[in-house]
Amino acid sequence: MKGEAENTIVRIVIALIVLGVIVTLLYLALGPFRDSVTYNTCLAYLKQQCMSKPPTEYTPIDQGPCNSLRDKSKLPKTCKET
């Protein structure tokens, strides 16, 4: 009976390790996809902010999802660019 319990524990530990490796690989593989979703969400947020402002100015107090972007160089600087 003791041997069966040890085998079960070993199998559970191995299964958890394999699951961790799979989740890590998926996380790394989907990185670029996550960035593009964040970028598109940011653009939609900026367009929404510009709808309530004059077309020449763009100074939102809260940048919302844009704060988590690493590369902000491609973002529009004014509402005319959106």
Identify the pLDDT of residue 66: 80
Angle at CA of residue 47, ends 60 and 45, nearest 5°: 70
Chain-centroid distance of CA 48 in Å reads 20
User: pLDDT per position in the chain (82 positions), as tens?
Assistant: 577 888 999 999 999 999 999 999 998 888 778 778 888 888 888 888 777 766 666 555 556 778 777 777 777 776 766 5
Chain-centroid distance of CA 64 in Å reads 13
Identify the pLDDT of residue 81: 65
Q: Could you tell me the two tokens for 11?
A: 């199998």
Indicate the pTM of the whole model: 0.51
Q: Could you tell me the two tokens for 38?
A: 């964040």
